[in-house]
Structure 1
Amino acid sequence: MIEIKVPELAESITEGTIAEWTVKTGDAIEKGETIAELETDKVNVEIKSDFSGVIQELLAEPGDNVVVGQVIAKLGEEGTSAATEAAPKAEAPKTEEAPKAEPAKEATPAAEEKRTGKSRTVASPAARKKARELGIDLDEVSFRDPMGRVRVEDVEAHNQAKNAPKAEAPSKPAAAPSKPAAATPVQDDARVERIKMSRRRQTIAKRLVEAQHTAAMLTTFNEVDMTAVMDVRNRRKDAFFKKNGVKLGFMSFFTKAVIGALKSFPLLNAEIQGDEILLKKFYDIGVAVSTEEGLVVPVVRDADKLSFAGIEKEIGDLGKKARDNSLGLKDLQGGTFTITNGGIFGSLYSTPILNTPQVGILGMHTIQRRPVVVDDNDTVEVRPMMYIALSYDHRIVDGKDAVQFLVRVKQLLEDPEDLLLEG
Structure 2
Amino acid sequence: MADIKVPEMGESIAEGTVAQWMVKEGDTVRQGDLLLELETDKVNLQVNATEAGVIGAIAKREGDIVRAGDTLGTIRSGSAGASAETERQREAASPAREQPQASGSAATSAGAAAEAERQREALAATPSARKLARERGVDWQRVTPSDPGGRITRDDVANAAEQAPAAPAPAQPAPAPTDSSTAAGVAAAAPAAPAGDAGKPVETVRMSRRRQTIASRLVEAQRTAAMLTTFNEVDMTNIMELRKRRKQSFQEKHEVGLGFMSFFTKAVVGALKAFPLLNAEIEGDSIHIKKFYDIGIAVAAKEGLVVPVVRDADRLSFAEIEKRIADLANRARSNTLQLTDLQGGTFSITNGGVFGSLLSTPILNTPQVGILGMHKIQWRPIALDEERMANRPMMYVALSYDHRIVDGAEAVRFLVTLKEMLEDPETLLLEG
TM-score by length of 2: 0.72
* 1:36 alignment counterpart: 36
SS in 2 for 1:295: strand
* 1:11 alignment counterpart: 11
The C-alpha deviation readout for 1:44-95, integer Å capped at 9, x for no partner, is 10123445554331111112222223222134455446xx8xx9xxxxxx99
* 2:158 alignment counterpart: none
| Segments ≥4 residues shifted beyond 6 Å | 160-164
Distance of aligned partners of 1:74 and 1:204 in 2 relative to their CA distance in 1, 3 Å threshold: same
TM superposition shift of 1:402: 0.7
TM superposition shift of 1:4: 3.2
TM superposition shift of 1:162: 8.3
Contact 1:241/1:247 (8 A) holds in 2: yes
* 1:290 alignment counterpart: 300
Contact 2:39/2:209 (8 A) holds in 1: yes
Contact 2:193/2:202 (8 A) holds in 1: no
The C-alpha deviation readout for 1:119-161, integer Å capped at 9, x for no partner, is xxxxxxxxxxxxxxxxxxxxxxxxxxxxxxxxxxxxxxx9x97
* 1:403 alignment counterpart: 412
Contact 1:285/1:301 (8 A) holds in 2: yes
Structure 2 Cα separation of the partners of residues 187 and 50 of structure 1 = 50
Contact 2:297/2:308 (8 A) holds in 1: yes
Structure 2 Cα separation of the partners of residues 45 and 74 of structure 1 = 18
The C-alpha deviation readout for 1:160-201, integer Å capped at 9, x for no partner, is 97899689x9xxxxxxxxxxxx99746864411111111111
The C-alpha deviation readout for 1:205-236, integer Å capped at 9, x for no partner, is 11111111111110000111111111111111
2:422 is the counterpart of 1:413: yes
Identity value in percent: 62
Structure 2 Cα separation of the partners of residues 230 and 59 of structure 1 = 56
Structure 1 Cα separation of the partners of residues 203 and 46 of structure 2 = 30
Structure 2 Cα separation of the partners of residues 318 and 420 of structure 1 = 24
* 1:26 alignment counterpart: 26
2:320 is the counterpart of 1:314: no
Residue identity in the other structure for 2:414: F
Contact 1:54/1:80 (8 A) holds in 2: no
* 1:214 alignment counterpart: 224
Contact 1:7/1:47 (8 A) holds in 2: yes
* 1:62 alignment counterpart: 62
Question: How do 1:199-348 and structure 2 match up within 5 A?
Answer: 199-348=209-358
* 2:395 alignment counterpart: 386
Structure 2 Cα separation of the partners of residues 248 and 395 of structure 1 = 37
TM superposition shift of 1:330: 1.6
Aligned length: 340
SS in 2 for 1:422: coil
TM superposition shift of 1:40: 0.8
Residue identity in the other structure for 1:383: R
Aligned alpha-carbon RMSD (Å)? 3.1
Residue identity in the other structure for 2:358: L
* 1:356 alignment counterpart: 366
Contact 2:37/2:45 (8 A) holds in 1: yes
SS in 2 for 1:23: coil
TM superposition shift of 1:385: 0.9
TM superposition shift of 1:293: 1.7
TM superposition shift of 1:323: 1.7
TM superposition shift of 1:39: 0.8
* 2:124 alignment counterpart: none
TM superposition shift of 1:41: 1.0
Residue identity in the other structure for 1:395: R
Instruction: Give ranges in structure 2 of 5+ residues lacking alignment.
Output: 89-102, 105-174
TM superposition shift of 1:398: 1.1
Structure 1 Cα separation of the partners of residues 76 and 290 of structure 2 = 51
Residue identity in the other structure for 1:293: E
* 2:143 alignment counterpart: none
TM superposition shift of 1:411: 0.5
Residue identity in the other structure for 2:229: T
Structure 1 Cα separation of the partners of residues 365 and 388 of structure 2 = 41
TM superposition shift of 1:253: 0.5
Structure 1 Cα separation of the partners of residues 195 and 72 of structure 2 = 36
Residue identity in the other structure for 1:422: E
Distance of aligned partners of 1:186 and 1:201 in 2 relative to their CA distance in 1, 3 Å threshold: farther
Structure 2 Cα separation of the partners of residues 34 and 343 of structure 1 = 36
SS in 1 for 2:430: helix
TM superposition shift of 1:3: 3.7
Name whichever of 31-40 and 213-222 sits farther off: 31-40
TM-score by length of 1: 0.73
Distance of aligned partners of 1:319 and 1:80 in 2 relative to their CA distance in 1, 3 Å threshold: same
Contact 1:186/1:192 (8 A) holds in 2: no
Distance of aligned partners of 1:342 and 1:190 in 2 relative to their CA distance in 1, 3 Å threshold: same
Instruction: Give ranges in structure 1 of 5+ residues lacking alignment.
Output: 88-93, 96-157, 170-181
* 1:374 alignment counterpart: 384
TM superposition shift of 1:308: 0.7
SS in 2 for 1:278: strand
Residue identity in the other structure for 2:289: L
Name whichever of 338-347 and 71-80 sits farther off: 71-80
Residue identity in the other structure for 2:207: M
